Amino acid sequence: MALKESQYIWLDGEFVAWKEAKIHVLSHSLHYANSAFEGVRAYPTDKGLAIFRLKDHTRRLLNTCKMSLLNCPYDFDALNAAQIELLRKNVFAPKTSVYIRPIVFVGYGVMGVYHLNSPISAAIAAWEWGAYLGDEGLENGIRVKISSWARNSVKSMMGKAKVAANYLNSQMAKCEAIEAGYDEALLLDSEGFIAEGSGECFFIVRDGVLITPPSDNALESITQDSVINIARELGVSIERRRITRDEVYIADEAFFTGTAAEITPVREADARPIGEGKRGELTQKLQEAYFDVVYGRNDKFSRFLTLI
């Protein structure tokens, strides 16, 4: 899907025209993939555009920087303010949701793997972006393939870092799934338990209980946490425990969660229909409740919203 351009990108403290937001081809991160990034969404509410869980995303961005040894030149408040200001400066069509992509990266000036003498830059872009796995997917569910790629091992990578280097693993899994005719990949960890999707966390429902794996081999997902909070509010029983591949096949319902993917039902895994092979009842209930929260229609969760 082609990017929908907006007017300005924040680059190292300045708002520059979208097309002028450029960096040198010898920027260190382009070669060695150490860049911390976030994916944040803002939704139109009755009171205007509101960023969903802005501070949690910025905290995770700075945690990724810390884990990845990136000395971010901008602090928590500056990064939050820049994201708000960027949304104010750009003009978005009414009633569309906006995706925000902050990135902290190693710039130009030094080559070789050692990066601590290199300059660190930051940029934030925002554009209109609809359903990541398609509107059809949100309603009818998607088809998932268990990946032949194991999720990056905790012995060699840091799953809690949203760092570009982790995404070669995601990219290979996603491509494998798409080329095999599926919509998304579901990755196992190196012990064979469900880890996460290429860019989403995973839930199943069995006998009315909502189950999602611990974050041992996955990103600490903000949407996963939101869904757990919402489910608790709705009185749903929740378990955080490991899930095996065979348990996915016999789940009553399954869905992915992510800032981009929101809550996307899974209707099939490896040619086995999940439940009745369509969006499950609890999945739909959680989806509706999630959209109520992000669109500002549930005052109990107004703490999650930052109005622009």
Which chain residues interact with ligand PMP by CB under 6 A?
39, 170, 196, 199-201, 218-219, 221-224, 257-259
Question: Could you list the active site residues?
Answer: 162
Q: How far is the CB of 76 from ligand PMP (least distance, A)?
A: 17
Q: How far is the CB of 230 from ligand PMP (least distance, A)?
A: 13
Neighbours of 222 (CB within 10 A): 22
200 versus 268: smaller Cβ distance to ligand PMP: 200
Encoding tokens for residue 71?
């000395």
d(CA 137, CA 264): 6
- The pairing of beta strand 272-273 with beta strand 253-258: unpaired
Q: How far is the CB of 56 from ligand PMP (least distance, A)?
A: 8
19 versus 241: smaller Cβ distance to ligand PMP: 241
d(CA 291, CA 270): 29
163 versus 282: smaller Cβ distance to ligand PMP: 163
Q: How far is the CB of 260 from ligand PMP (least distance, A)?
A: 6
Residue 81 CB partners (closer than 8 Å, separation 6+): none
Q: Where are the beta strands (DSSP E) in the chain?
A: 8-11, 14-17, 35-37, 40-45, 48-52, 98-106, 120-128, 142-146, 184-188, 194-197, 201-206, 209-212, 238-240, 253-258, 262-269, 272-273, 305-307
Q: Are 293 and 299 in contact (CB under 8 A)?
A: no
Q: Residue 213's closest CA among 161, 261, 251?
A: 251
Q: How far is the CB of 38 from ligand PMP (least distance, A)?
A: 8
- The DSSP secondary-structure symbol of 221 reads -
Helix (H, G, I), strand (E, B), or coil: what is residue 36? strand
Phi, psi of 197 (to 5 degrees): -80, 180
Q: Are 127 and 6 in contact (CB under 8 A)?
A: yes
CA angle, 52 as apex, 233 and 29 as ends, to 5°? 130
146 versus 218: smaller Cβ distance to ligand PMP: 218
Q: How far is the CB of 178 from ligand PMP (least distance, A)?
A: 16
218 versus 293: smaller Cβ distance to ligand PMP: 218
d(CA 158, CA 34): 12
Encoding tokens for residue 32?
């060695």
Q: How far is the CB of 207 from ligand PMP (least distance, A)?
A: 26
118 versus 264: smaller Cβ distance to ligand PMP: 264
72 versus 161: smaller Cβ distance to ligand PMP: 161
